[in-house]
Amino acid sequence: MEDRPVAEAFRQYYDPYVYQGSLDENLKEARRLKRDTTHCRFCKRSREETTFKENTHLLSKLLGNYNYYSHDECDTCNKLFGKRENDLSRFLGTTRTFDHLVNERIAPGFESSSGQVGLKKIGPEVFYVYKKRDGEDFKVDINGGQAEINLDSQVYTPENVYLSLLKMALGILPEKNIPDYELAFKILQNPEIYPRTQHLRKACITEIGMIIARPYAQLYRRRQDLNMPELPQMLFCLSVGRFMFQIIVPGHRADDADIGKSFDLRVAPYIQLNLKETHDGIVERRFIEDLSSAEPVTKENKLHFSFGTDKLVSVKMDGLTDLL
């Protein structure tokens, strides 16, 4: 409900264009189509120049998309994008463990950047935060009732987070639009050659107070009846966990002549898929995250809490023996 005004403003400029959030298992179908793929969608290499043996995901598997595969991504690109997606999962830090909801899969574990603190999900609402190595990052004072735990993310490169989002945007782009975005595909292969598009490497992040178990993505297209070159032709949104990332799809051929062009961003609303059972009041904040830097960084994340010391108990829990 709180995003209705955002949606109304947004729909004056953009139409929904592509939706991808299929939960269907399509491995067989994707493998069949892959046998007939002549060129990689991303790098344009032919079967003579690359291979198409790996199973490739349309949306990253690291985000919880286990079943839905693509058919036109080559193994060379899969390797390149896979490395970048590791940075996307590091950027998400502890949320991949805390917010894991897919019951049939074990939640990914987490290790802090210093390697001193570990985190595992061991039950529906039960998490195990533990000291992995000696150091200053895990301080629990049992007698004083104080805990200070440092769960900083592993080091990641912001630019790779952006490029992972762009890859998914270009992955769901309809084939007929691929020629319009030649430059965007080139940026994806060699971002360093296009420093003048660096100002577009940012995401508008909407943080919400509920968790969605599996990712879904949308492309929005600028309304065809509008002549507003200051608005980008295409916007991409990815919802995962408790976030929605929105980026501009750069490099449309209409803007080619002005590669360093700036755009106005229209904020996309947070969309709920289940209209029968809506949750209102879940949008917590919205902010722009600069993802242009190619320098490695870590995301600070500190737990600090107090607890009563008079009723502390020690419990033995199933599944923990291998950890202790």
Residues of this chain that interact with Zn ion (CB under 5 A) are: 40, 42-43, 74, 77
Least spacing, CB of residue 36 vs Zn ion, in Å: 16
Q: How far apart are the C-alpha atoms of 76 and 42, rounded to whole Å?
A: 10
Structure tokens at 160: 């790779």
Among residues 40 and 63, whose Cβ is nearest to Zn ion?
40
**209, 188 contact by CB (below 8 A):** no
Structure tokens at 124: 């529906």
Among residues 42 and 68, whose Cβ is nearest to Zn ion?
42
**70, 77 contact by CB (below 8 A):** no
Which residue bears the tokens 């600069």? 290
Among residues 43 and 178, whose Cβ is nearest to Zn ion?
43
First to last CA, the chain: 46
Least spacing, CB of residue 288 vs Zn ion, in Å: 31
Overall size of the chain counted in residues: 324
Among residues 38 and 224, whose Cβ is nearest to Zn ion?
38
**42, 170 contact by CB (below 8 A):** yes
Structure tokens at 192: 């360093």
Task: Give the DSSP H/E element, type plus range, for residue 159.
Answer: helix 158-171
**248, 225 contact by CB (below 8 A):** no
Among residues 42 and 220, whose Cβ is nearest to Zn ion?
42
**73, 56 contact by CB (below 8 A):** yes
Least spacing, CB of residue 191 vs Zn ion, in Å: 15
Among residues 11 and 45, whose Cβ is nearest to Zn ion?
45
Least spacing, CB of residue 25 vs Zn ion, in Å: 24
- The three-class DSSP label of residue 221 is strand
Least spacing, CB of residue 239 vs Zn ion, in Å: 26
Least spacing, CB of residue 53 vs Zn ion, in Å: 12
